Structure 1
Amino acid sequence: MSDTSVSAKTEHKLRAAMDRLLGGKPQHSDGRLTKNNLALEAGVSPATMFRAKAVLADWDTHIDTHGSLTPGEARRDADINDLRRQLAAAKKEITELNRQLTAATTVIASLHHDNQMLRTEHQAEGNVLELPPRPRG
């Protein structure tokens, strides 16, 4: 307890509130890592909180180092990024599969046309085939 502009009890409240907020376990606020939530979580006025220079310095250092996201927000953002990656991969796969489907459709249509021509040709010729003469020997 090194801050002389606030009482030891107030500094303890602020540090406990800071620990709860940074740990993602708020009791009196929405859990966002803001100075207003720090005061709300500690049950002190913002003016009192701003007089606790040592606590605010520690708060600012932590926020500068780790960012202002709560653990839950960081997990959410990581999940969103993962889902975006999965979506991009799925879109790429769908595009490739559509390309393959178009190619397969073209080949099938060509084979169908060839098959129809062969059937027509077969029907026009009839069933009797002339065999070549056997060599005598």
Structure 2
Amino acid sequence: MTPAIDERERIRAAMDRILDGTPQTSNGALTIVALAQEADVPRNALTQRHLDLKNDFYERVKERGATPDAEARLRKTIVKLKETIANKNEELDQLRADVPALVRTVNQLTLENQLLREALAQPASNVLAFRNRQSPHPND
């Protein structure tokens, strides 16, 4: 596909609009995707044909001291993930601390269960079985 004659000029104009904070057709993010959308060119125009303009765009973003949106999103994600890891580590430490107490409880219950089974297996000396006596008189 042959690039449009005015493609470079459109990219430069789009760069100026985005960096000035006045995008017309994109979300104004400091990304190549937004720049391509703003310039109405395919993304590969910046990644393959006009690398100098792509590099210029990133250099101008860097000079302004602005953090690209993708980097800002990644930094927020990193912070959230670090918090999640810290919470999970705290939870894991608590679970590890609970294990010995649970093992002791299981052992105690197993011993008690065994003692109860042994007691049930032995005949009780204080329990008497009633014999079924038949009365000589049916009305008794």
Asked which structure has the greater RCO (Cα within 8 Å, sep 6+), the reply is 1
TM-score of the aligned structures, taking structure 1 as reference length: 0.48
TM-score of the aligned structures, taking structure 2 as reference length: 0.47
